[in-house]
Structures are given as C-alpha cells and as structure tokens.
C-alpha cells in the first residue's frame, strides 16, 4: 500500500557525524532504509510522517529540554507503540532516560557488535510492521462498520416505507371489506323476507319441488347472511378502536353461557374457579369466548355428548395468564394447527359441521389486538385444548367468584 517505504524507514540520530555515517553505512549495506536526522525536532517530525523505528544515542535524548520526543510518542494513536533503540554507555540505568518511561525502548549498551545491532533493528522494524498491519485492519473494520451502519439505515428506512404502504393497503382493504359486507346485508335481508312472504302468501300454490326450491333460497340467504356477519365481525375486530381495561373473566364467562342458552343445551360446561381479572377489551373478549365455546360444543364426536372445561392458570415468569377451553370432541390433526386460524381455514366439511371458517380468525385478530396470544393442542378423536394468553390486571391475583 502507499506509504510502505516511509513506514520501513529507520531514523538515525547520533550527535557525532562519524558515528552516524559508520552505522548508517553498515545498516544500509544490510538493506535497511536509513534516514539520518540532525536533531530531535527533525526526528520527531519524521516519526509523525511515519517510520519503522528510531536508532539514537543516549546523549541525544538527554538533551530534550522541551520533552519533544516523549510528547510525540505519548500522543500516538492506540494501535501504535513506536520502537526506539537507544545506544547507552556501560552501566547506564534505564530510569535516567526521561523518554524511556513506559515507552517501547530497547537499550543497547555500547560498544555494540554490528550483528547485535542488526538483529535489534530488524526485530524493531518487524514489530512496527505488525503495528501498521493492525492499523490497516482497524481502518478496514471501521470502514466496514460504517458501510454496515449505512446499509442498516437504508434497510430500516425501506422496511419503514414498506410497512407503512402495507398498513395503508391493509386499512384500505379492511375498509373496503367492511363497506362491501355492510352493503350486502340489506339485499340479503330482502331476499330472506320475500322468500318468507312468498312461502306464507303463495305457498299453497306451489308444489313440493317449488317449496323445496324456496326453502333452499331461504337457507342460502341465511347462510350468506351468517358469512357476511362474520366478515363484518372480523373487520370490526381488525379496525375498531381498542382500549384495554380490567375485565373480570369469571363474570364474562358466566355472562357468555347465560347470553347464549343454546350452549348449555348442547353439552356440559364447567367453569373452574378461580378465574383472574385480565387486561382486555370486553366486547372482543366476549367474542373470543363465544367463538371458542361454540366450537368446543359444535365439533363433537358422533354419539358423545360434549363436555367442556374452562380453566385458567398463571404462566410462570410472565405477567400473563392462560385461559384453557378443553373439549372431548373430534380433535384436530397437528398438521392443521396453523390452517385453522386463517380465514376460511376449515378442516372439517360443512356437510357435517356448519360454519363459516372465520370464527378462529376473529379470535386470533382480537387476541393479537389485545396484546395476547392464542394456540391449540389436540389429538384426533380425543378432543382439543384451545388457549388464550392474556395480560393479568395488576389486581388480578386474588380469586374471583361469579358475580363478584
Ligand atoms: P367454523 O367453526 O365456522 O368452521 P372456525 O374458524 O371457528 O370456523 O374454525 C376453523 C376450523 O377449525 C373448523 O372448521 C374446524 O375444522 C376446526 N376447529 C375449530 N375448533 C375446533 C374444535 N374445538 N375441535 C375440532 N376442530 C375445531
């Protein structure tokens, strides 16, 4: 790389020209690139330019009233530890050299054999070369980190932009599906109404086939209305405003069972107390409970009366509580665990179990919006255990009894 020659230079500072010339001649002949400096000031400015090492006599350092050398060496960058080779007098003590303290100094006692000097210089230059390699690696690392940061910022920006676009598209789609579903209900109700009126007023003029067609029209309109209602419920949960508040799960659970008497008629429901107070949106939570409870009673095994148990347990090391809906129904194969939470993710045929395939998608969306989670464990032919994980209200640790 550029500047390599400078970094290999051996700076030489010796007060007597004869000594300097002799040493430099020997070292140059051994292929060292020597640069003779006239005084400490010049030596310091050459060190700043970049050099491999400095060879100097003890006397040269002792006369450094401005501490120029130690100042330069102490202000080196962190990767640098510039090597100084100092030729001393016999019996010299290192502490006498002001510049020697805590610096990279090799003391060589005079008279020095050339072979010794050569190996000391060689070692110092090699040491310095490693330092430059470290500097280059650090520079590359810094550059790479900088590039990575830029790439990261760019990526974050793109993710932000795409997320925003996606959110806009989702909102538009939700608004669209809400208004379409909403507008679909009026003509549907007309169809149902006119079909009922036709049956009532003109029914005696129709033969069996005519009556059957009419009741099929009514049933299809009713089914479509159910579908539209579910799509509307999904849209409401997806885009409605949400404010979480403390909700007494026990009260809500009993309310659900009382509000929908058909639940009790279909099977046995046990609500195991205590149930906690959770942070939730009451209407959304009620929707979740009625959908899960409805499914638990609906997907029953032929000839087996549905038994549903609802209970709650604290999740260890979290602020959450898990609410379980356990049934003894037909169960779900593990490969369908994900599919059933998608819109229209029905696994069982509508000939056997009526439904729209939107119920669990509504539960998933509602739970997500309440900051919770939803899951299932199940075994085919044995039953299913659906769970909701919700945040406990701060005062929810106490037990609650119905109607409290
Ligand atoms: P729907 O009940 O209208 O079919 P859901 O979205 O509520 O739609 O459920 C999706 C599918 O998940 C159901 O069609 C059924 O195949 C399966 N499922 C849901 N709950 C149960 C359950 N408790 N036991 C067995 N299968 C279930």
Q: Is the CB of 230 under 6 A from ligand 1?
A: no
Task: Tell me the CA–centroid distance for residue 341 and ligand 1, in Å.
Answer: 9
Is 310 within 8 Å of 274 (Cβ atoms)?
no
- Residue 102 burial (CB < 10 Å; 0-12/13-18/19+)? exposed
Residue 50's closest CA among 29, 86, 80? 80
Q: How crowded is the C-beta side of 105, counted as CA atoms within 13 Å?
A: 25
List C-alpha distances in Å: 136 to 82, 147, 202, 347.
Answer: 16, 16, 96, 62
Say whether 399 sits in a helix, a strand or coil. coil
| β 277-280/307-314 pair status | unpaired
Number of CB atoms found within 10 A of residue 109's CB: 14
**How sure is the predictor about 140, in pLDDT bands with cuts at 50, 70 and 90?**
very high
Residue with CA closest to ligand 1 atom 20: 295
- Residue 261 scores a pLDDT above 90: no
Q: How crowded is the C-beta side of 184, counted as CA atoms within 13 Å?
A: 18
Task: Tell me the CA–centroid distance for residue 325 and ligand 1, in Å.
Answer: 13
Task: Tell me the CA–centroid distance for residue 360 and ligand 1, in Å.
Answer: 7
- pLDDT tens digit sequence for 14-62: 888 787 888 899 999 999 999 999 999 999 999 999 999 999 998 888 7
- Angle at CA 72, nearest 5°, toward 66 and 78? 150
Say whether 346 sits in a helix, a strand or coil. coil
Q: Quick one: the chain helix, strand, coil %, rounded to 5?
A: 55, 15, 30
pLDDT of residue 114: 92
- Residue 82 burial (CB < 10 Å; 0-12/13-18/19+)? buried
Residue with CA closest to ligand 1 atom 7: 359
- pLDDT tens digit sequence for 293-343: 999 999 999 999 999 999 999 988 888 999 999 999 999 999 999 999 998
**How sure is the predictor about 93, in pLDDT bands with cuts at 50, 70 and 90?**
low
Q: pTM to 2 decimals?
A: 0.61
Q: How far apart are alpha carbons 111 and 102 in whole angstroms?
A: 25
Say whether 384 sits in a helix, a strand or coil. strand
- Angle at CA 318, nearest 5°, toward 317 and 322? 115
Which residues, at least 6 apart from 250, have a Cβ–Cβ distance to it below 8 Å? 271, 273, 274, 275, 400, 401, 402, 404
- pLDDT tens digit sequence for 203-237: 899 899 999 999 888 888 888 888 888 888 888 88
Report the residue count for the chain: 404
Task: Tell me the CA–centroid distance for residue 278 and ligand 1, in Å.
Answer: 25
Q: How far apart are alpha carbons 242 and 42 in whole angstroms?
A: 75
Residue where the block lists tokens 């969306």: 365
pLDDT of residue 299: 94
Task: Tell me the CA–centroid distance for residue 206 and ligand 1, in Å.
Answer: 38
- 307 phi and psi, to 5 degrees? -125, 120
Q: Which atom of ligand 1 is nearest to the CA of 347?
A: 16
Q: Is the CB of 347 under 6 A from ligand 1?
A: yes
Q: How far apart are alpha carbons 64 and 41 in whole angstroms?
A: 9
């Amino acid at each position: 790389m550029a500047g390599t020659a400078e970094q290999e230079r051996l700076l030489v500072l010796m007060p007597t020209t004869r000594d300097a010339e002799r040493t430099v001649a020997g070292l140059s002949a051994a292929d060292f690139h020597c640069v003779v400096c006239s005084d400490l000031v010049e030596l310091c400015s050459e060190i700043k330019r970049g050099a491999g090492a400095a060879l100097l006599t003890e006397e040269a350092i002792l006369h450094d009233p401005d501490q120029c050398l130690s100042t330069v060496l102490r202000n080196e960058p962190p990767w640098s530890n510039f090597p100084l080779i100092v030729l001393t007098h016999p019996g010299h003590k290192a502490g006498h050299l002001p510049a020697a303290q805590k610096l990279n100094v090799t003391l060589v006692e005079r008279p020095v054999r050339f072979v010794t000097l050569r190996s000391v210089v060689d070692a110092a230059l090699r040491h310095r070369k490693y330092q430059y390699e470290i500097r280059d690696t650090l520079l590359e690392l810094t550059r790479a980190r900088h590039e990575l940061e830029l790439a990261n910022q760019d990526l974050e920006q793109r993710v932000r932009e795409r997320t925003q676009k996606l959110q806009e598209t989702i909102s538009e789609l939700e608004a669209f599906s809400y208004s379409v579903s909403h507008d679909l209900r009026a003509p549907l109700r007309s169809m149902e109404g006119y079909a009922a009126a036709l049956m009532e007023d003109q029914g005696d003029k129709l033969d069996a086939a005519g009556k059957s067609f009419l009741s099929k029209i009514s049933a299809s309109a009713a089914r479509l209305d159910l579908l539209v209602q579910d799509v509307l419920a999904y849209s409401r949960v997806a885009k409605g405003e949400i404010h979480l508040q403390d909700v007494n799960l026990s009260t809500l659970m009993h309310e659900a069972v009382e509000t929908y008497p058909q639940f009790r008629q279909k099977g046995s429901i046990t609500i195991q107390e205590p149930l906690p107070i959770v942070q939730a949106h009451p209407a959304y939570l009620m929707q979740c409970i009625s959908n899960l409870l409805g499914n638990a009673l609906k997907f029953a095994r032929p000839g087996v009366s549905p038994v549903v148990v609802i209970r709650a347990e604290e999740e260890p090391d979290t602020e959450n509580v898990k609410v379980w809906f356990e049934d003894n129904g037909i169960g779900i194969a593990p490969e369908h665990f994900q599919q059933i939470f998608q819109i229209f993710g029905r696994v069982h045929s509508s000939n056997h179990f009526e439904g729209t395939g939107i119920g669990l998608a509504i539960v998933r969306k509602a739970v997500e919006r309440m900051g919770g989670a939803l899951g299932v464990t199940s075994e085919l032919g044995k039953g299913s255990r659906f769970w909701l994980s919700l945040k406990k209200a701060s005062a929810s640790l106490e037990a609650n009894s119905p109607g409290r």
